[in-house]
Amino acid sequence: MRNRPEEPPVSAYPVHPVDEKLPALKMATTGLQHVAAMYAGVVAPPLIVGAAIGLTGTELTFLTAACLFTAGLATFLQTLGCWKIGARLPFVNGVTFAGVAPMTAIAASTRDKSDALPVIFGAVIVAGLLGFLAAPFFSKAIRFFPPVVTGTVITLIGVSLLPVAFGWAQGPDPAAKDYGSAEYLGLAAATLVIVLLLRRFTHGFVKQIAVLLGLVAGTVVAIPLGVTDFGPVADADVIGFPAPFHFGAPQFQLAAILSMCVVMVVSMTESTADMLALGEIVERPADERTIAAGLRADTLGSALSPLFNGFMCSAFAQNIGLVAMTRIRSRFVVAAGGGFLVLMGLCPMAASLIAVVPRQVLGGAGVVLFGSVAASGIQNLVGAGLEKGENVLVVAVSLAVGLIPVTEPDFYHAFPETARIVLDSGISTGCMTAVVLNLVFNHLGRRRAQTRGAMETAVPLAAPQSIT
């Protein structure tokens, strides 16, 4: 990825920007900005799964806090690293949404609902441990990710996330009468305008935390509209700890384990694509060793998460957009965000403060965040040599396949549930399509053609004999 004109090259820094330690205040505010960007994505899966199981309000709060706590631990593993674990990039980890459908299916198939979470936790533990062992082999796939593939995947990540922002902008409840009302969309638009104005007319630190300031300003604007709900703050406990195996000891059922193993493969595919994207953005390309270490952090975090009543952890693509927009590339900033997540897990009242931000406000900021990811992908495609061979075809078909679940969510409704875990992930299907098409058009048969060409050059054909 090219440097912006106002930025010095990476070689000019005493340490790489990824390893830079910022002042405490800047570290805290920018870390909180990362939490605000990914909070809704972390709490949504436990709310959905908990509701499917029939948890009480108190149990649902406990499960949500546990997922925040384990997301923070997984983010520590990813950013700070330990031994050969952790990509050591500004990489946020949290509960993967890919596991929601199979987890609700597991809950539906469990006769005694009190056993549903233990069965899910047992399956996640096994899938995480198997993924940890497979990480070094899975990482070798990096050679199948040239710029034409990575650019396509980065673009697809951004475009696939935009509908999430559009959904947030319309309101919290799709079944409500005022969902998508002019008032809600106006609030999202106001937040977007505030962020853009801050980015245009401010400088330095204020410019870098424009998204956080936009979220605060949008929340303040929402108060007289009656959209902001402070109820969660009043009802939340000050201190709480996700006691190990609060819902019971893990149970191991083969069908559930196989289902979560499929989710783990999808999660590892998406994390690989996200690491490649983030490596380009922060100008520290992710090599095979980095990807292996990052996948180990993902899978180990997933295996340990059920100990504290959390679900499978994976990379959060929306935070890549924040890194791309702010240009703050320090992994310690994201580690600070992980610290906030841990504190929220230990202090439900602190977690509820982020919950106060209306979905409409998050939607306005999300347009900037997710659009920045897509723009980074386009920038990579510009330098990928689209004029060569059939690269345009590789990009066109891969984007089309990847956008199927976004534009037509029920497109694969006739397929088995296990297959839909993969097919309904546009990032995974688009990524696999790009890899396969790149191999077909740019590699298969090329070596034979090159060898034949070399032979023809070395041994020219004999001139035809004249017939007399």
The 10s digit of each residue's pLDDT in 128-152 is 999 999 999 888 877 777 878 878 8
What integer pLDDT is reported at residue 102 of this predicted model? 75
Residues 6+ apart with CB under 8 A from 407: none
**313: which strand partners?**
95
Three-state SS for 121? helix
What integer pLDDT is reported at residue 324 of this predicted model? 81
Which two tokens mark 212? Answer: 């956080």
What integer pLDDT is reported at residue 293 of this predicted model? 93
Rg of the chain, C-alpha, whole Å: 24
Cα separation, 192 vs 215, whole angstroms: 9
Three-state SS for 181? coil
User: Which of 430, 377, 435, 427 has the alpha carbon at shortest distance from 401?
Assistant: 430
Three-state SS for 461? coil
Residue 94 host element (H or E): strand 93-95
For the chain, 468 residues long, give each residue's pLDDT as a single digit of tens: 444 445 566 655 677 888 888 888 888 888 888 887 777 677 767 876 787 787 776 777 788 888 889 999 999 999 998 888 988 988 888 888 767 767 877 887 777 888 889 999 999 999 999 999 999 988 887 777 787 887 887 788 778 778 878 988 998 888 888 898 999 999 999 999 998 998 888 876 677 677 778 888 998 999 888 888 776 666 667 777 778 888 889 999 887 888 788 778 877 877 887 888 888 888 888 888 999 999 999 999 999 999 999 999 888 776 787 788 778 889 999 999 999 999 888 877 766 666 677 888 888 888 887 787 788 778 778 877 787 778 899 999 999 998 998 888 889 889 887 677 677 777 778 888 988 998 998 877 665 555 555 444 444 444 444 333
Surface-to-core class of residue 59, CB atoms within 10 Å of its CB (0-12 exposed, 13-18 middle, 19+ buried): middle
User: Which of 453, 448, 331, 436 has the alpha carbon at shortest distance from 390?
Assistant: 436
Cα separation, 96 vs 44, whole angstroms: 10
DSSP 203-268: -HHHHHTHHHHHHHHHHHHHTTTT----HHHHHS-S-----TTTT-S----HHHHHHHHHHHHHHH
What integer pLDDT is reported at residue 208 of this predicted model? 65
Which two tokens mark 235? Answer: 């009802």
Three-state SS for 427? helix
User: Which of 364, 367, 408 has the alpha carbon at shortest distance from 171?
Assistant: 364
User: Does the CA dihedral 72-29-376-198 come out positive or negative?
Assistant: positive
What integer pLDDT is reported at residue 261 of this predicted model? 84
**85: which strand partners?**
82
**Contact between residue 70 and residue 330 where contact means Cβ atoms under 8 Å apart:** no
**Contact between residue 150 and residue 291 where contact means Cβ atoms under 8 Å apart:** no
**Contact between residue 400 and residue 173 where contact means Cβ atoms under 8 Å apart:** no
**Contact between residue 302 and residue 128 where contact means Cβ atoms under 8 Å apart:** yes
Residue 155 host element (H or E): helix 147-170
Cα separation, 296 vs 135, whole angstroms: 6
